[in-house]
């Protein structure tokens, strides 16, 4: 269930109440006249089944409530109410499958912003991965993938395509491209420093690496894995039962490929540099394609439920 708290102008409250009362999956409707001070107006609160939440929020947007008042939504962790149980049963679909597009846009906006923290995380992840590829250490590779924050802007690109939000797309692409560029540039310098201390060597990089050699040898399986990871990551992001994205992060080789490209470039090994760059681009493209198609599918499936959101009169 979701809890909605609305601030509405006094002359729009009755219209909002009728809208809520006529939407399947809503309950616990409360109206507090004249209690809002900034902006002035009434406070209207209700609980709504998650699967009906997106449609109700869209209808509130159509009434311009976010412009003349406010709409706030939060997840309810516990609700002991037979009316809430009935509201969930009445709402079409399953809560775990529902997509709250406003919430998704907000989440991807925050995760896809180019910030010092984002650049720091992706740079640290790439340097950790650099140690992993030189040492052929799978544990370091897994750790680097878990630290890497690149799925945020990738999800932002997918969301922007589906929602036709060019600003979100531009912001996400800038975070993705600038983040990887800075991370790889810093990792080249890091590789030179490590070479100066004789911790990195060209012999190790070009030697037999059974655990990490795949990061510079892209093939059909690379794209298949990226597609599967993109679907899993998008479902994890949109689902009410989503868990940590660590499982998705370790499924693809974005950060390790970038690290291998940077280390190889520091030693002038253009074969591995090109191969790793191709692996990186292939995985990024696969995730974007899969994520976008997943969101389009979810949007199409839920559009068929909209006709069932209004209570029969």
241 pLDDT above the threshold of 60: no
Nearest Cα to 43, choosing from 74, 63, 72?
A: 72
Determine the average pLDDT of the residues in 70-92: 92
Give dist(CA 274, CA 257) in Å, integer: 10
* Per-residue model confidence as pLDDT tens digits over 286-295: 999 999 999 9
- Give the span between the Cα atoms of 309 and 23, in whole angstroms: 6
Give the pLDDT confidence of 114-156 residue by residue, as tens digits.
999 999 999 999 999 999 999 999 999 988 988 889 989 999 9
**Distance (Å) of CA 121 to CA 39, 72, 146, 149, 243:** 39, 31, 10, 7, 20
CA–CA distance, 311 with 56 (Å, rounded to integer): 12
Nearest to 258 by CA among 174, 150, 175, 158: 150
Q: What is the CATH number of domain 2-96?
A: 3.30.70.120
Nearest to 302 by CA among 25, 96, 51: 51
Q: What is the pLDDT of residue 308?
A: 57
- pLDDT tens string 242-298: 544 545 555 567 999 999 999 999 999 999 999 999 999 999 999 999 999 999 998
Same fold, 2-96 and 103-301: no
pTM for this one?
A: 0.84
Average pLDDT over residues 1-19: 96
- Cβ distance 259 to 132 under 8 Å? yes
Tell me: pLDDT of 228 over 70: yes
H or E element that contains 31: strand 26-37
Domain ranges of the chain: 2-96, 103-301
The pLDDT of residue 242 is 52
Burial of 196 (0-12, 13-18, 19+ CB in 10 A): exposed
Instruction: Please provide the CATH number assigned to the domain covering 103-301.
Output: 1.20.1080
Nearest CA-CA partner of 222 in 251, 186, 201 = 251
Q: For residue 62, what are the CA distances in angstroms to 57, 59, 65, 66?
A: 9, 5, 8, 9
Separation of alpha carbons 290 and 273, rounded Å:
26
Do 263 and 189 meet the contact criterion of CB atoms below 8 Å apart?
Answer: no
Tell me the β-bridge partners of 41: 36
């Amino acid at each position: 269930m979701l809890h909605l708290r609305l601030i509405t102008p006094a002359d729009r409250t009755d219209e909002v109440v009728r809208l809520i009362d006529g939407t399947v999956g809503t309950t616990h409707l409360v109206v507090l006249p004249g209690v809002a001070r900034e902006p002035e107006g009434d406070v209207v609160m209700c609980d709504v089944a998650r699967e009906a939440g997106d449609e109700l929020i869209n209808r509130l947007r159509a009434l311009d409530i976010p412009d003349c008042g406010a709409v706030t939504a939060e997840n309810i962790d516990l609700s002991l109410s037979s009316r809430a149980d009935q509201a969930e049963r009445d709402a079409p679909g399953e809560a775990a499958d529902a997509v709250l597009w406003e919430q998704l846009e907000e989440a991807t906006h925050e995760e896809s912003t180019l910030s010092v923290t984002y650049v720091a995380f992706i740079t640290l992840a790439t340097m950790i991965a650099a140690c992993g590829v030189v040492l052929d250490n799978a544990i370091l590779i897994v750790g680097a993938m878990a630290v890497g924050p690149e799925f945020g802007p990738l999800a932002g690109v997918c969301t922007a395509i589906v929602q036709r939000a060019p600003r979100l797309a531009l912001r996400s692409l800038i975070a993705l491209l600038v983040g990887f560029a800075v991370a790889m540039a810093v990792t080249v310098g890091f590789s030179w420093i490590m070479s100066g201390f004789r911790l990195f060597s060209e012999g190790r990089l070009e030697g037999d690496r059974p655990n990490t050699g795949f990061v510079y040898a892209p093939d059909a399986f690379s794209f298949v894995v990226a597609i599967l990871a993109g679907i899993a990551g998008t479902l994890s992001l949109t689902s009410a039962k989503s868990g940590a994205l660590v499982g998705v992060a370790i499924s693809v080789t974005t950060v390790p490929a970038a690290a291998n490209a940077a280390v190889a470039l520091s030693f002038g090994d253009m074969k591995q540099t090109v191969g790793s760059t191709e692996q990186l681009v292939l995985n990024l493209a696969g995730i974007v394609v899969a994520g976008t198609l997943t969101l389009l599918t979810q949007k199409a499936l839920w559009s068929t439920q909209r006709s069932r959101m209004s209570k029969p009169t």
